Amino acid sequence: MIVSAILSDKGRQVFTITPTATLGNAVKTMAEKRVGALLVTGAGDRLTGIVSERDVVRMLAAHGAAALDMPLNEAMTRKVATCDEAETISSLMERMTAGKFRHIPVVESGVLVGMISVGDAVNLLLREME
């Protein structure tokens, strides 16, 4: 099974935010969209980072409530692992486990085409087992 199977099932919608938005804006957007991470995109929709629930917790622990007013470029993870649609689910899950991250953007020819979470991968594997 490959990544494109997950995208075919769940869709290709990706939620993004700009690096100049605040961490509070990101928290509000994640809550509204019911997602655990947002992709941070700059000029030309270029992927510049990712902000996840873990990043929020880390910033709140370090700065208290003042963290919510900080720009995302101070809170986001800049080194973002990506995958393509042809990657196998087992390879993807191995990378996510080794890297200790739960969300990975899907990029084809330099264009963002989706986002996969570890939950998406697990759901697909469970459906296959049934």
Please give the DSSP secondary-structure letter assigned to residue 100: T
Distance CA 23, CA 67 (A): 7
Per residue in 53-69, pLDDT (tens digit) is 999 999 999 999 999 99
Note the pLDDT tens digit of each residue in 4-44. 989 998 889 999 999 999 999 999 999 999 999 999 998 88
pLDDT at residue 50 in the model: 96
Residue 2 pairs in a beta bridge with: 88
pLDDT more than 90, % of the chain:
78
Per-residue pLDDT at 1: 85
Is the pTM above the cut of 0.85?
yes
Pull the structure tokens for residue 28. 């509000």
